[in-house]
Structure 1
Amino acid sequence: MNYFELFDLPVSLNVDKSKLAKKYFELQKKYHPDYFTQATEAEQEEALEKSSAVNKALKILKDKDSTIKYLLQLKGLLEEEEKYLLPPDFLMEVMELNEELTAESATAINDFEKDIYSGVQSIIEQYDAAAITTAELLKVKEYYFKKKYLQRILDRLDD
């Protein structure tokens, strides 16, 4: 069972946060280990596993980047620890940003991220599992890796 099924949500790159929260509390009431203190050892173990899965699913589905990664993995388009080859023009732009790191760089990097997001915004915000193409998902994958790359630079600025 995938996390979307666990939370009874449609597969999406843009999860409804209010439905996610509501379902999370529902599932916690159902599977929280504290409710199984008088149950058999097997039932306690199962409740612990389900409660853990619910917590992990919540962590992934409430974060947009983690949701993108998870959905791409579900579709078999992203491997854990995958090394993705980014386009040379993107790398050149990022290298220039990286060389000129200043206090204002965060604004430039955020603007750059907004620019690359615009190329996939409609795919992410209007995701339709029945109509999505592999080509569209591959665009989202490239966006995911570009954003990850930009985030590393922003993280360096914070240090």
Structure 2
Amino acid sequence: DSYMDYFELYGLSLSFNPDPAVVKQKFYELSKKFHPDFYIMESQEKQEEVLELSTMNNKAYQVLSDPQKRLHYILELKGLLTEGENYVLPQSFLMEMMEVNEALMELEFEPDAGKLLEIKAEVDLIEKKLFDELLVLTSGFETQDDEQQKQSLLKIKDLYYRNKYLLRLRERLDK
């Protein structure tokens, strides 16, 4: 049983930015196609297969319509994410984050609404830069050759992990 990825299921080529309208349309199409009511007269085996496809369709839709999940999924598909991997973020990024973390620690001892807003603005800026970089890397991806794609994927992976770090930081900021 050859594994079919979510893009194949939807008849799409692998892309970081699939057309949301197409994704939605495919989801509805397959939801109808794999509706259990149509397979009542079929064998138990066929019914189970349809149920599996229906479940896969739901998962595919969740992943392909969410940019974060999609990014994670593509990196996984390409074998770039390993379970429990200890990814080392670039030194420059960690230094930048250290400053933010120190400022946050100070705030825990001496709350200062103005300072908090400053830090939030700084994190927003870092995040925006990250998304801009990501956009550049992901929007040209489909047209690149294999070697370029390899390079892009490594950079995308790095940005993915930086973003994960920022998400955790944001949770702290919101407390």
Q: Measure the CA separation in 1 of the matches of 2:40 and 2:87.
A: 46
The number of aligned residues is 159
What's 1:115 paired with?
A: 129
- 1:65-106 superposed Cα distances (whole Å, 9 cap, x missing partner): 211111112112222332210012211211222233424533
Could you tell me which residue of structure 1 aligns to residue 140 of structure 2? 126
Question: What amino acid does structure 2 have at the position aligned with 1:136?
Answer: S
Structure 1: which 5+ runs fail to align?
Answer: none
| Kept after mapping to 1: 8 A contact 2:134/2:159 | yes
Higher helix share: 2
Higher relative contact order (CA 8 A, sep 6+): 1
Asked if the contact 2:39/2:47 (under 8 Å) is kept, the reply is yes
Q: CA–CA distance in 2 between the matches of 1:9 and 1:17?
A: 12
Unaligned runs of 5+ in 2: 105-115
1:14–1:127 CA contact under 8 A, matched in 2: no
Deviations 1:88-147 (A, max 9, x none): 221121122223342453332121011123333222122216524311110000000000
Shift of 1:156: 2.5
TM-score (norm 2): 0.82
- TM-score w.r.t. structure 1 length? 0.89
Which letter maps to 1:5? E
Displacement, 1:40?
2.2
Larger Rg, first or second structure (1 or 2):
2
Indicate the RMSD between aligned Cα atoms, in angstroms. Answer: 1.8
Q: What does 1:10-49 align with in structure 2 at a 5 Å threshold?
A: 10-49=13-52
Percent identity among equivalent residues?
Answer: 40
Residue deviations 1:11-63 (CA, integer Å, cap 9, x gap): 01112111000000001001123433343211211111001111111111111
Instruction: Say which of 137, 145, 153 aligns to 2:169.
Output: 153
Q: Is residue 90 of structure 1 aligned with residue 93 of structure 2?
A: yes
